[in-house]
Structure 1
């Protein structure tokens, strides 16, 4: 890396100058911002698994209440691609920073309002309707968030540090999930009746304080130097073309492959962290506190492993880590329900440590750099966002919903393992076909 003067450093590959120390500030800002947004998004998923069937779908059979609850969860994931397209459009046209500030504000307000919603026993069908509306808003916000956060980190980094820099978002999402689960675990002293009545609302309402902190941090960061350089050199006709149309016209195949690259791992971790908990607490009668504790321990391990694996991908390549992790995740899915079925605390902890601290860390910690490196600057925000969010729709949204529907209809839980295993195999093949993305240049 060549030092140009006392104030700027030049990215090795891209030749774009950015202030010394800015990369570290961007990493911290991406980490903090993503932590807050994913905290907001995941408290919903946790509540959907633990209490929403009783609060917003009272009066229907337990199995159907679970399906309806996970349907609202899936709706949030369905809205994420729309958020990715909207955020990608403005992020590719006008810059990454403004979109990140807007998405955080929208996410914060929608989460806060969710915590104030009356139950269906008080306002009837209006309760689930308003819940769905707020979940859609959440989905749009987090859909526009991910691409900008990862690109801000990657585009401020040198070529040899992009894998590590991209882990800011993976670390933030892991920390956000950890804080979401910790907030519910801290309410373990409440009785079931108290938790169902008001306890679950506390993390939703309290999240507004985190959003204020995150907004302050994001307003202090500088725009991506790669984006600014590309804007100066962009021809006039490229300014008139919408980024989503540019993406579809120029790279339709790569977009589909990029979506498939993360669908399997997304499905594996989503089912593990949502549906498995619901299944264990409602069908097997296991205490929710065991699973919350297991999740928190495994997430701490994940936060320790993600930066290590991201940095390692800078040395040995993304595929060398990602492909074996996808295959292992697929095989591991067949052991998930039998391990939960033992009812033994140490087995449940082992399940989450292997699944989250190692397998999910290996995929989530690397996918950010992969998706950032496969698209050109003119539609990189859109491409990376669309790929990640459609993977989230299929894996994170439909995955738990389909799992709940299959088991609820009487199918054996092994069918869930087969579904996850097939998608993880597809993801491994898709990733391999993208080539060694760390050799790609970010500047067009």
Structure 2
């Protein structure tokens, strides 16, 4: 599990490969930016606009729950998209799958900006919104996994943590752009905001689609997938392979994502909804989004820095620092939000996104691809990411808004929920092997399945001393 000769030689000696590394970084970053621009924009709109425009207003609290349920529906579609496109990515290659997913995901988001409201077409409005959200989630289910795999397979081995984290600046940039745009349109008079203002950012995402598509069409296939083709090792049945050999990696990957993904969406969307429930009509919606804006701006620097630290100290160590920080931060954060002070709320959300979430996201970018063998890496990463997105991010909005509705905004319950996610992730860091500098041309997983004397499957982690630089 030393440096792959393929990757090391290519990066240092092949100018064309180095150019492709730059293209891969840009292509992955733009896709991440589009995905999280759409998702952050949808989340902000869910808490403040969609609950008004797309659902009956007899019970405003229940309308908000239904709006977050629509938000969660997108997460339900993501594992199916990850499964479908993950198989194609492991059989046909990474590049073309990423071309298709950007079109599907971006097209659905643009169409949301054209959708009539409940007042215009009645119950057809939320039904079509759900359909578009499903299509958006289906494409997004493979988009981020593909970007993760693409960069990990292109990156120089000794700096894989840093390079793999660079596209995830797109996550922060997309979230930052959504927050800035939403802050701007929130300044409109309410009648203009609800009539046409909210549509503008959804329609504007079409420009990002065209730019990302142009770059991805010029991208070459990753060298590790080329190696699979060269040695005729491409899996005929990636799904069978993932369930027979890769399931331990998927399960651990899900655990690693609970605090990062769930915490991210809780701070971005649920934190806003909770604060509004505390202050009611006096809450300044445009001011609140600055917490997400500042947190995302911090993340532009903290995510690649955390990836860089994982190249020096190991993936598990840095990941555990982030999950423990979130665990310690959770109860003070939600108590401070409950005080109803705008400045404090902005700071709480900014720290949660920019430090707690980002410190886990940095090493995760390289760690998840390193967990899986080359034959089913795309599918393994997609399943770990998207199943966790349902259990963490999707459920967070629905369950959290329900807790707010029935408990009258009890911050202790919300903090306990987030702390549970952080505990799951912290425990998972003790179950995963150190994957630092693992050779990605290997076809075996970092977590292997062996057999005991009774013939039962036993999960065993394998770590090379060379892999951790000792």
Per the normalisation by structure 1, the TM-score is 0.94
For 1:413 and 1:343, the matched residues in 2 are separated by: 12
The structural deviation recorded for 1:16 is: 11
* Paired residues of 2:184 and 2:286 also in contact (CA < 8 A): no
Paired residue for 1:348? 345
The structural deviation recorded for 1:17 is: 11
The structural deviation recorded for 1:38 is: 2.0
Paired residue for 1:10? 10
Superposed, 1:11-410 pairs within 5 Å as 19-235=17-233, 239-241=235-237, 243-285=238-280, 286-410=283-407
For 1:265 and 1:41, the matched residues in 2 are separated by: 15
The structural deviation recorded for 1:19 is: 1.6
The structural deviation recorded for 1:18 is: 6.9
The structural deviation recorded for 1:20 is: 2.9
Deviation string, structure 1 residues 71-125 (Cα, Å, up to 9, x no partner): 0111101111111111111110001010111011111211111111111111111
The structural deviation recorded for 1:11 is: 6.0
The two structures, once aligned, show a CA RMSD in angstroms of 2.3
For 1:219 and 1:384, the matched residues in 2 are separated by: 23
For 2:35 and 2:267, the matched residues in 1 are separated by: 21
Kindly report structure 1 stretches of 4+ aligned residues shifted beyond 4 Å. 15-18
The structural deviation recorded for 1:168 is: 2.5
Paired residue for 2:449? none
How many residues are paired up? 438
State the SS of the aligned residue for 2:9.
Answer: strand
* Paired residues of 1:41 and 1:142 also in contact (CA < 8 A): no
For 1:128 and 1:362, the matched residues in 2 are separated by: 36
For 2:294 and 2:404, the matched residues in 1 are separated by: 28
The structural deviation recorded for 1:391 is: 1.1
Unaligned runs of at least 5 residues, structure 2: 443-470
For 1:386 and 1:60, the matched residues in 2 are separated by: 39
For 1:205 and 1:45, the matched residues in 2 are separated by: 16
The structural deviation recorded for 1:443 is: 0.6
The structural deviation recorded for 1:313 is: 0.7
For 1:104 and 1:370, the matched residues in 2 are separated by: 24
The structural deviation recorded for 1:40 is: 2.1
Between 1:267-276 and 1:379-388, the stretch displaced more is: 267-276
Per the normalisation by structure 2, the TM-score is 0.89
Between 1:333-342 and 1:298-307, the stretch displaced more is: 333-342
For 2:155 and 2:205, the matched residues in 1 are separated by: 30
* Paired residues of 2:105 and 2:136 also in contact (CA < 8 A): yes
The structure-2 alpha-carbon separation of the partners of 1:37 and 1:318, relative to structure 1 and needing over 3 Å to count, comes to same
Paired residue for 2:451? none
For 1:18 and 1:154, the matched residues in 2 are separated by: 18
* Paired residues of 1:178 and 1:300 also in contact (CA < 8 A): yes
